[in-house]
Chains A and B, each alone.
Chain A
Amino acid sequence: MQKKRVVFNYPSHLVDQPVISKLVKDYDLTVNILRARITPKEEGRLVLEMEGKRSALEAGLNYMKEIGVEVQPLAQDVKWYEDRCTHCTACISVCHPQALDVNRKTMEVSFNRDKCIACELCIPVCPYQAMEILF
């Protein structure tokens, strides 16, 4: 089994189609929608986590691309500007998936984008504008 966090960009004509249920029924994927912003007659964006067999994941993602959904890894949309980060740790207590984590010995902050769910709780908490999430 494999897990992937991706962002789907929907063209407007697909917004009213039951695309995700296809992923579940036809490709046997477990889907967890983390964030969604879809408005009729406009483009939509969806952040989700998919879990399944490697071959099923690939086939599912290919299906999405074929019908015109732009697929990109979540990490691309989340930025940690390390040069702005002072390692103060203000973000640590609000980051529940521990994507922002601290080495308790050195008190150095690190960012693991694979764990980020783009919840944006860190954005107002960081006094140095070191986190940016484009969604």
Chain B
Amino acid sequence: MAKTIEEINEKIRRGKAVVLTAEEIIDYAAEKGVKKTAQEVDVVTTGTFGPMCSSGAYFNVGHSKPRIKLGGGRTYLNDVPVYTGLAAVDFFLGATAMPEDDPRNKIYPGKFSYGGAHIIEELVSGKDVRLTATAYGTDCYPRKSLETYISLKDMNEAVLFNMRNAYQNYNVAVNLSDRMIYTYMGVIQPKLGNANYCNAGQLSPLLNDPYYKTIGIGTRIFLGGGVGYVVGSGTQHNPDVKRTEKGVPKMTSGTLAVKGDLKMMSSKWLKGTSYTGYGVTLTVGIGVPIPILNEEILQYTMIRDEEIWAQVIDYSDAYPQFIPGSLGEVNYKQLKSGRITVQGKEVPTSGLSSYLKAGEIARILKEWIEVGKFFLTQPVELLPSVDSGIVFKPLKERPIKKHH
């Protein structure tokens, strides 16, 4: 018997909703059977806590007296530049932004110890940051410079807005060359010295709803320790890829764009992150509830690590040169065991996305629903799926004509 979101919300209201995490549902449903479980269980909660570079936040800091137009000028938070191509006192801080005088990788390989993501973490933890700006001054906004401390509570709005998060599956990175490489997939040892992966596997949001049959625009989620919303598919959302019989993508595929009120979030679930030799990024906690509307949806949430496959990619050559091809497929059970085999060689593995914290997020979201403080939403529109016709395009470079 199928359920509706409204029926599930009514049970949440009465404190009667049955909620399991994406980990718990596996054995539960295997024991009780799909039919019975689909009737009994109302929600399965998922979680992920990994680095997500296309994250950031926008702010409205309020008008100074006299007024200043930050738009079109230069503005910094703790010396990190923000994007001001907007109205007078709105700006956007990107997670990967860095102070202009940061040496980057001029001192090899480069530490990237501080950037936009760290500022987001500091603001969320209640700290003051330095807001400095220069502007060109107009009749209506005469002021030309500004220097002040500011904290989250002083601002009118502070909104986390991440245009690509929660990647549905990801590459496993290895290094076939004979030198150490520094990548967004971490430090990778030469000659297949290690393999780095970055996904929560059986707990991961989009792997539990592989065809996006419940997740869409308006889905209420756990975001950075607070409540957020899916605002659509993320950038590079690419649903039409090779999938298993159960519909699980075997490579990078769907993504989410999300937003939420930064003032309600916690620095425990938004962490400034520094990849040696690569750059700064933000580690974001996301948890998505999957309403168990019917047996089909339940079956998707029963996915196990050993049924989720990922491609092993050489990050010394194939990835940077954009050469297609995989060195093989491995599953998340193998990855989490600590060893995989690549080209006949046993390779130790490391994760970049925390499975432990993903589980904690799924349990927190479960508790929020059980105590009746988090309700499910009916998406306004589902995410584009395999039949959407979306094609993931490379950049086609066209020579620019020189005029004399």
Contacts and interface: CB of A to CB of B under 8 A. Distances in A.
B356 A106 contact: yes
B352 A124 contact: no
Contacts of A129: 113, 274
Nearest to B360: A87
Nearest to A87: B356
Given A102-B338, A106-B356, A125-B186, A90 B351 contact: yes
Contact of A90 (B196, B336, B356): B196
B66 to A, nearest CB: 41
B189 interface: yes
Interface string B265-302: 00000010111110001010000000000000000000
A89 B352 CA distance: 7
Name the interface size band of chain B.
Answer: 20 to 34
A93 B348 contact: yes
B225 interface: no
A91 B349 CA distance: 10
B39 interface: no
A92 B275 contact: no
Contact of B354 (A86, A91, A124): A86
Contact of A88 (B189, B354, B359): B354
A125 B338 contact: no
A interface secondary structure, majority: loop
A89 B222 CA distance: 23
A107 interface: yes
Contacts of B195: 93
Contacts of B193: 93
A92 B187 contact: no
A124 B113 contact: no
A81 interface: no
Contacts of B359: 106-107
Given A102-B338, A129-B113, A107 B351 contact: yes
A89 B109 CA distance: 21
A86 B338 contact: no
B354 A107 contact: yes
A128 B281 CA distance: 10
A108 interface: yes
Interface of A: 86-94, 102, 104, 106-109, 124-125, 127-129
A74 B195 CA distance: 30
A58 B32 CA distance: 62
Contact of A86 (B109, B276, B348, B357): B357
B350 A107 contact: no
A125 B187 contact: yes
B350 A127 contact: no
A88 B274 contact: no
Count chain A CB atoms within 10 A of each CB in B109, B348, B351, B355 and give the residue with the most.
B351
A88 B352 contact: yes
A124 B109 contact: yes
Contacts of A87: 354-357
B49 interface: yes
A92 B337 CA distance: 12
B106 to A, nearest CB: 16
B208 interface: no
B94 interface: no
Contacts of A128: 271, 273-274, 283
Contact of A127 (B186, B336, B337, B357): B186
Interface string B331-368: 00000111000000000111111111101000000000
